[in-house]
Amino acid sequence: MKSEKEKMLAGEPFDAHGEEMIGIRTKVKHILHKLNVTEYYTDKFEDTINELCPNSAKNIHLEPPFYCDYGENIFAGDGVFINFGAVILDGAKVTIGRKTLIAPGVHIYTARHPLNIKDRRVWEDVRPVTIGEECWIGGHATICPGVTIGDRSVIGAGSVVTKDIPADCLAVGNPARVVKQLNQKD
């Protein structure tokens, strides 16, 4: 029989509110406290980032305050910069390509909840999010579960990304839509 964490990682419906999952998130909240409050100005700050996000490159930068559910499901590449106030609900894998810049207040969600109230009372599920290399995610943008954003794309401030965005595009709005091709050769 699978644990709730095993179900979550397999993308199956799971109980996020049981003792096992609350225990895992509570441990992460202690690490987040160190990151956001006690170690920002110390030589332990980078070690705390690596403790929180062990599957990310060693040279990512998280500007506090930063919030996530698990940390271990964040796979950020070399040179990723995440500005203050970011929230990543990482029940599923969140991949952030190298040199991607994430502005203040960006929210990235993998968690989905059933529309039916009876189901919503007992389970949720998750879908991975992938953000390509050298992207720019504008302030207070929201990236929804299951979305892929292609390399070098830009998401405008305040946009809500509900569907995949191809590489080399500017997408804006709610819901976000592609309004311009970028990086085209003359």
- What is the overall mean pLDDT for the chain? 94
Percentage of the chain beyond pLDDT 90 is 84
pLDDT over 90 at 123, yes or no: no
Report the pLDDT averaged over residues 40-50. 89
> How do residues 129-166 score in pLDDT, each as one tens digit?
999 999 999 999 999 999 999 999 999 999 999 999 99
Determine the pLDDT at residue 29.
96
User: Residue 49: enclosing H or E segment and its boundaries?
Assistant: helix 45-52
Does this model's pTM top 0.75? My answer is yes
Where residue 119 falls among pLDDT bands split at 50, 70, 90? Answer: confident
Determine the pLDDT at residue 186.
60
Calpha distance 51→54 (Å, rounded): 6
Report the pLDDT averaged over residues 112-117. 88
The burial class, CB within 10 Å (0-12 / 13-18 / 19+), for 62 is: buried
Provide the b/e sequence for 74-107 (b: ≥16 CB within 10 Å): bbbbebbebbebbbbbbbbbbbbbbebbbbebbb
Given the residues 33, 61, 113, 140, the one annotated as active site: 113
Report the pLDDT averaged over residues 91-102. 98
pLDDT over 80 at 185, yes or no: no
Please confirm, yes or no, whether 61 is among the known catalytic residues: no
- Long-range pairs for 83-86: beta carbons < 8 A, 24 or more residues apart: 86/62
Selected residue with higher pLDDT from 39 and 19: 19
Determine the pLDDT at residue 122.
83
